[in-house]
Amino acid sequence: MLSRAPGGPETLELGELPDPVAGPGEVVVAIKACAINYPDVLVIEDRYQFKPPRPFAPGGDIAGIVESVGAGVTRWQPGDRVMGIAMMGGLAEKRAVPADSLHALPEGHSFEEGAALLLTYATSIHALVDRGRIARGDRLLVLGASGGVGLAAVELGKAFGAHVVGAVSSEAKAQAVRDAGADDVIVYPHGPFDKDQSKALANAFKQAGGAEGFQVIYDAVGGDYAEPALRAIGWEGRYLVVGFPAGIPKLPLNLTLLKSCDVCGVFWGAFAARDPRANAAHIATLFDLWEQRRIAPRVTAVFPLARGGEAIAKLGARDAIGKLVVRVAD
Contact 264, 271 (CB under 8 A): no
Q: Residue 87: its pLDDT value, please?
A: 82
Span between the terminal Cα atoms of the chain, in Å: 16
Q: How confident is the model over 289-294, as a mean pLDDT?
A: 95
What are the tens digits of pLDDT across the range 79-89?
A: 999 999 988 99
Cβ burial, residue 292 (10 Å; 0-12/13-18/19+): exposed
Residue 73 CA, distance from chain mean position: 29
Length of the chain: 330
Q: How confident is the model over 226-232, as a mean pLDDT?
A: 98
Q: How confident is the model over 184-194, as a mean pLDDT?
A: 94
Q: Go through the domains of the chain in sequence order and give each one's CATH number.
A: 9-105+298-327 (3.90.180.10), 121-269 (3.40.50.720)
pLDDT at 50 over 90: no
Residue 327 CA, distance from chain mean position: 19
The H or E element spanning position 199 is helix 195-209
Q: Residue 191: its pLDDT value, please?
A: 86
* 148: CB partners within 8 A, 6+ apart: 35, 37, 116, 119, 120, 297, 320, 322, 323
Closest CA to 165 of 138, 135, 141, 136: 141
What are the tens digits of pLDDT across the range 99-134?
A: 999 999 999 999 999 999 999 999 999 999 999 999
Contact 228, 202 (CB under 8 A): yes
Q: Residue 266: its pLDDT value, please?
A: 97
pLDDT at 49 over 90: no
**Rounded (5°) CA angle 196-202-249:** 90
Q: Residue 318: its pLDDT value, please?
A: 82
Q: Residue 157: its pLDDT value, please?
A: 98
Structure confidence at residue 169 as a pLDDT band (50, 70, 90):
very high
pLDDT at 293 over 90: yes
Contact 61, 90 (CB under 8 A): yes
Helices (H) and strands (E) in the chain, counts: 10, 13
Q: CA–CA distance from 139 to each of 177, 185, 210, 240, 260 (Å)? A: 16, 13, 9, 14, 17
The H or E element spanning position 178 is helix 171-179
Q: Residue 48: its pLDDT value, please?
A: 86
Q: Residue 166: its pLDDT value, please?
A: 98
Give the integer Cα–Cα distance in Å for 98 and 27: 6
Q: How confident is the model over 142-153, as a mean pLDDT?
A: 96
pLDDT at 139 over 90: yes
Average pLDDT value over all residues in the chain: 96
Question: What pTM value is reported for the model?
Answer: 0.93
Give the integer Cα–Cα distance in Å for 257 and 273: 32
Give the integer Cα–Cα distance in Å for 54 and 135: 44
